[in-house]
Amino acid sequence: MSAVAAAPTPAFVGDLLTYRDAVIGEMRAIIAEKGFDDVLSQRLADYPLRAGKGLRPALCLATCQAYGGGAPHALPTAVALELFHNAFLVHDDVEDESLHRRGAPTMHQDWGIAIAVNVGDALNVLAMTPLLRNLEVVGLEKTLRIFREIEQMARESVEGQAMELEWVRANTWELRDAHYFRMTSKKTCWYTTIAPCRLGALVGGPLEVDLEPWIHFGYQLGVAFQIQDDLLNLVGEEERYGKETAGDIWEGKRTLMLIQLLQRARGRERQRVLRIMGTPRARKTQQDVDFVLAAMERHGALDHARTISRDFAREARTALASITATLPASSHLDFLESMIDYVIHRDL
């Protein structure tokens, strides 16, 4: 495996789209078979059918095949992961008061908070359908183990979200990089990278497969992914990124860049940043947001985040090489390695 990250290859992008399309097709079928009325069905399909990356199910499917399993064996679990992901997004947008998701207004902006919460709940319920289908696909023992993995994934994720929400509620600013890494390990890593890989290995590997090494890999990859996501939130093109530019500043998020800025800024500048970040979204101005973003640039907070993201990506590459050393070479292992490059090179 190479030590230097490179832009994702066309083959990787093609595989990612293939995985995503397979999962979207299954989600469409599940929504249709439930016989919901047209209005609810359309709302349930809204977020899943927007141009998401499909990263989570792709990791699950590729890991399963790297262990010698077939993609159809992991497809129900991959679909469940994507349904959970979209449910989290709908609820997360309400909690963060976000305005845009994947290039369109958020669910609660279009239909109100009550309907958005209901749709998020329904997507969580729908995820049970493919998980129960695992009984027919992989048998009782693996199905129960999959449910245990999903339970831990959900528990870790809601705890990480609770940490971030409490920082905002309590107006907490005395944070360090380590606080951000711990919150991200729970909020992002478990359901974005750790659980998908562990589930893929569980489905594709033997019953005695060791899942523990995937925690370290998933943590390293997940933190790199989240830092890049936070950077794109600040400097990405809104048309490509699909979210509001500098939305994290508008929402008061404690990102790695903000934490670094508060450690480096002094005096009146620091106090102004604190005042802006502590101001509710409705009372912030574009001038406030521009000031914070310019200060991040001036103090090197964005460059710091880029460096840290690449450090985590390098650790992920080393961890992956250790895990897969005993597995036969395959296009699926190549896909997993390319995922590391994609995470830190993506621009959407």
Give the gyration radius of the chain's Cα atoms: 20
Write the burial class of residue 280 (CB in 10 Å: 0-12 exposed, 13-18 middle, 19+ buried): exposed
- Residue 10 carries which side chain, given as an amino acid letter? P
In a domain, 51, yes or no: yes
In a domain, 345, yes or no: no
Q: What range defines the domain where residue 329 resides? A: 10-340
In a domain, 334, yes or no: yes
pLDDT one digit per residue (tens) for the chain, 348 residues: 334 456 678 889 999 999 999 999 999 999 999 999 999 999 999 998 887 889 999 999 999 999 999 999 999 999 999 999 999 999 999 998 899 898 899 999 999 999 999 999 999 999 999 999 999 999 999 999 999 999 999 999 999 999 999 999 999 999 999 999 999 999 999 999 999 999 999 999 999 999 999 999 999 999 999 999 999 999 875 545 456 789 899 999 999 999 999 999 999 999 999 999 999 999 999 999 999 999 999 999 999 999 999 999 999 999 999 999 999 999 999 999 999 999 988 765
In a domain, 27, yes or no: yes
CATH code of the domain covering residue 87? 1.10.600.10
Tally of domains within the chain: 1
In 39-66, which positions are buried (b, 16+ CB within 10 angstroms) versus exposed (e)? eebebbbbbbeeebbbbbbbbbbbbbbb
Chain centre to alpha carbon of residue 149: 17
Give the pTM. Answer: 0.93
